[in-house]
Amino acid sequence: MNVFKGHLLVALLIWPLLVYPQPEPLTFGIVPQQSSSRLAEKWTPLMSYLSEQLGRPVRFMTAPDIPTFEQRVLAGQYDIAYMNPYHYVEFSKVPGYRAIAREQGKQIRGIVVVRENDTATQLSDLEGETLAFPAPTAFAATILVRAELERLGVSYTPKYVSSHDSVYLSVARGFVKAGGGIERTFSSALESGLEGARVLWRSPGYTPHAFAVHPDLSEGDKEKIADILVSLSETEEGQGLLGGVTLKALVSASDSDWDDVRRLGLDFIEAEATP
């Protein structure tokens, strides 16, 4: 009798799951500008909030490096993705991601950092040096910086080190003369204890990273996710979540917001193999 009761109890517990199957998790891919552990720490609270608001699990995902992230976006492995401007321009073509939100009143700039006691005062002082970059197609940290160096005729040897944090550490420890990054990740690195590095140069500004969704996602889900992201700044909890990922208020985005990036004529860029 006890065995029968036990089986009956189990059946009663799992019956709702059989009648009402749980929704498939949504995958949210974050471009790996920092280490996976740091990104998980910063972004997981936002994923939990989205899960609660949507009534559907939202799973944090990233990649070990930017080239792998690009492969996964191209393969459509992320339902939602936070990607740099160049990535958005490319992946809006294939597989057809569409922007739903971006940071309000923000432009992204590339920066070049050197050691704090370095005597360099301009980019031409980097002539003939080895420079660190996170990945060949990192928009601000690599593309904008390299474009300016080439415009100035500065010769250099690029070294790809997988993340923005690795760039800053390589510079601070003297492994390379300088490196490319962005203001947000550099500020975050300083807050986390980075010492011995300073900004040498800043690029002009462009439309920042996109929150974009895969074309297979339903229109209803796209609208819900966009509404939740845009409304984050309206509550104290939401502001805290945005602050946790070093973002300010978000606004609705449209594909044309990244036309300034398209006008740069970056079609010639081809991904280089990461050593």
pLDDT of residue 5: 52
Share of the chain above pLDDT 90, in %: 80
**Are 136 and 272 in contact, with CB atoms under 8 Å apart?**
yes
Q: What is the mean pLDDT of residues 205-231?
A: 97
Residue 20 banded pLDDT, cuts 50, 70, 90? low
Q: From CA 116, how far away is CA 103, in angstroms rounded?
A: 30
Question: What's residue 162's pLDDT?
Answer: 83
- Kindly state the average pLDDT of the residues 132-140: 92
SS3 string, 200-218, reads EEECCCECCCEEEECCCCC
Domain at 110-202: CATH code:
3.40.190.10
Sheet of strand 210-213: strand arrangement: 58-61, 26-30, 80-83, 210-213, 98-103, 250-252
Confidence at 178, pLDDT banded by 50, 70, 90: very high
Please say if the pLDDT value at position 155 is more than 60: yes
Give percent above pLDDT 70 in the chain.
Answer: 89
pLDDT of residue 115: 98
The architecture (CATH level 2) of 24-106+207-259 comes to 3-Layer(aba) Sandwich (3.40)
Count of CA atoms in the C-beta half-sphere (13 A) of 145: 34
Looking at the chain, the domain(s) classified CATH 3.40.190.10 span 24-106+207-259, 110-202
Residue 235 confidence class, pLDDT cut points 50, 70, 90: very high
- Supply the pLDDT for residue 213: 98
Asked if residues 140 and 189 have their Cβ atoms less than 8 Å apart, the reply is: no
pLDDT at site 238: 96
Whole-prediction pTM value?
0.79
- With 70 as the cut, is the pLDDT of residue 8 above it? no
Q: How far apart are the first and last CA of the chain?
A: 66
Residue 102, pLDDT score: 98
Mean pLDDT of the chain: 90
Q: What is the pLDDT of residues 58-87, one digit of tens each?
A: 999 999 988 899 999 999 999 999 999 999
